[in-house]
Amino acid sequence: MDARTNPYAPGAGTRPPALRGRDRQIDQFDLLLNRLADGRSERSLLIDGLRGVGKTVLLSTFKDMAVEKGWYAAKLEVRHDTELRQALARAALKLLRELSAIERMKERVRRASQVLKSFSLRTPEGIEIGVGIDTAGTAGSGDLEFDVAELMLELGQTAQEAGTGVALLFDEIQFLDRTELEALIHGLHEVAQANLPLAFAGCGLPSTPALAGQAKTYAERLFLFQGVGSLDRKDAQDALTIPAASLKVRIDQAAADQIIDLSDGYPYFLQEYGKHAWLVANDSEITAKDVRRAHPRVLSDLDDGFFSLRYQRATESERRYIRAIADLGDGPQTTADVGTALGHESLQQGSSTRADLIGKGLIFSPRRGQVDFTVPHFADYVRRMDAPG
């Protein structure tokens, strides 16, 4: 069928044509906004899940929800080399600029900008991000925890005085280092105690809840942790059939079942199968035969993009470690078994490679002494790459 009208949307952070299976998270964020708007407290959201399950898409949805409510929202992606201070300064700058468009808020925003300026003077970018005000604010002590809290309080108070709220949406939280995560959680704690309308939602790999708990013990009371993963059969079916139906295309039950089986209900894979099944189908019906024809194309697209993107980032010794995990089978493996497979004489021998792979976000530790891939179906990909021919 026509590529031009193809509704499916595989990609990083690309909006799905039908967002399914995320009602709980969406309802919770809605509750958070409403309660904060009423001056009540509510736990922030911390969402964790494997690669490609739709974390970024959820954050974009939250952003829309906040904006729809007349709030100001900033979404930021943490990277390997991101500094929290810098990222937060940029987000605050954006929010304050938007708030300063409200005529009666100009003076108030000017004061908040002083705090931001002293905060951002401590970033490597220094003055560049500053907003041209001479007097120093209070968030430039150099103590990250203190400064982050000061800036967040200032943002929350400014929004409150404007009769609205601000939302901070952080993607890839697992890349924050320990001190940064501590500072962020502390800041949110201060904001929550002051009942300010600052909503926070963060997303990260499955290691995120543990990292948050290690950073601050009270993280458990501050956040509502929500794991997101593959969709159940009903939601997966809807995610596939609704977009087609809206274009008068039917996906027959056998075809839908096959896609759900092959994809395990993982959102990214559903979009890929939807896309390719659409492309190979002839008329207004997608059948099991189309899915069979689409399957190798899906694998080839995934191999060239979704999977290889991650694999390329590994060094040769990291790849050996990855292959050892994959050869042991699907699902979590013990580090002891991986070590044995690699001929290591002690557990210590593989620990720095393992730490590097965790740092790159390729593997995580679901339990003490275990490792697993952060990318669904990754073991299968690695075995496929290694297969002769």
The tokens describing 202, both together, are 């963060």
Contact string 212-251 vs ligand ATP (x = CB under 6 A): ---------------------------x------------
Of 51-59, 104-112, 176-184, 332-340, the segment contacting Mg ion by CB under 5 A is 51-59
Taking the C-alpha atoms of residue 198 and residue 78, their distance in angstroms, rounded to an integer, is 19
Which residue in 1, 6, 7, 16 binds ligand ATP (CB under 6 A)?
16
DSSP secondary structure letters along 71-129: -EEEEEE--TT--HHHHHHHHHHHHHHHHTTSGGGHHHHHHHHHHHHHHHTTSTTGGGG
122 touches, from ligand ATP, Mg ion, none (C-beta below 5 to 8 Å by class): none
333 forms part of the interface with Mg ion (CB under 5 A)? no
271 forms part of the interface with ligand ATP (CB under 6 A)? yes
In 3D space, the residue among 116, 186, 176 whose CA is nearest the CA of residue 145 turns out to be: 186
Nearer to ligand ATP, 263 or 335 (CB): 263
216 touches, from Mg ion, ligand ATP, none (C-beta below 5 to 8 Å by class): none
- Closest distance of CB 283 from ligand ATP, Å: 25
56 forms part of the interface with Mg ion (CB under 5 A)? yes
Nearer to ligand ATP, 56 or 118 (CB): 56
Of 45-53, 126-134, 189-197, 335-343, the segment contacting ligand ATP by CB under 6 A is 45-53
- Closest distance of CB 280 from ligand ATP, Å: 19
11 touches, from Mg ion, ligand ATP, none (C-beta below 5 to 8 Å by class): ligand ATP
262: Cβ contacts below 8 Å, ≥ 6 apart: 269, 273, 291, 295, 298
DSSP secondary structure letters along 284-300: SEE-HHHHHHHHHHHHH
DSSP conformation class of 157: H
Taking the C-alpha atoms of residue 89 and residue 123, their distance in angstroms, rounded to an integer, is 8
51 forms part of the interface with ligand ATP (CB under 6 A)? yes
Nearer to ligand ATP, 59 or 112 (CB): 59
Instruction: Count Cβ neighbours within 10 Å for each residue of 138-164 and write b for 16 or more, e otherwise.
Output: ebbeeebbbbbbbbbbbbbbbbbebeb
How many residues line the site for Mg ion (CB under 5 A)? 2
Q: Name the pairing type of β-strands 285-286 and 44-48.
A: unpaired
* Residue 316 CA from chain centroid, whole number: 27
Q: Which residue has the tokens 């304050």?
A: 96
Nearer to ligand ATP, 72 or 364 (CB): 364
325 touches, from Mg ion, ligand ATP, none (C-beta below 5 to 8 Å by class): none
Nearer to ligand ATP, 32 or 173 (CB): 173
Taking the C-alpha atoms of residue 81 and residue 124, their distance in angstroms, rounded to an integer, is 13
Which residue in 6, 36, 44, 55 binds ligand ATP (CB under 6 A)?
55
In 3D space, the residue among 235, 220, 211 whose CA is nearest the CA of residue 189 turns out to be: 220
In 3D space, the residue among 21, 60, 19 whose CA is nearest the CA of residue 271 turns out to be: 19
14 forms part of the interface with ligand ATP (CB under 6 A)? yes
Taking the C-alpha atoms of residue 77 and residue 265, their distance in angstroms, rounded to an integer, is 26
78 forms part of the interface with ligand ATP (CB under 6 A)? no
19 forms part of the interface with ligand ATP (CB under 6 A)? yes
Of 64-72, 214-222, 263-271, 322-330, the segment contacting ligand ATP by CB under 6 A is 263-271
376 touches, from Mg ion, ligand ATP, none (C-beta below 5 to 8 Å by class): none
φ/ψ (deg, to 5) at 171: -100, 150
The length of the chain, given as a count of residues: 389
How many residues line the site for ligand ATP (CB under 6 A)? 25
305 forms part of the interface with ligand ATP (CB under 6 A)? no
332 touches, from ligand ATP, Mg ion, none (C-beta below 5 to 8 Å by class): none
Q: Contact residues for Mg ion (CB under 5 A)? A: 55-56
Binding residues for ligand ATP, rule: CB under 6 A, are: 9-16, 19-22, 49, 51-57, 239, 267-268, 270-271
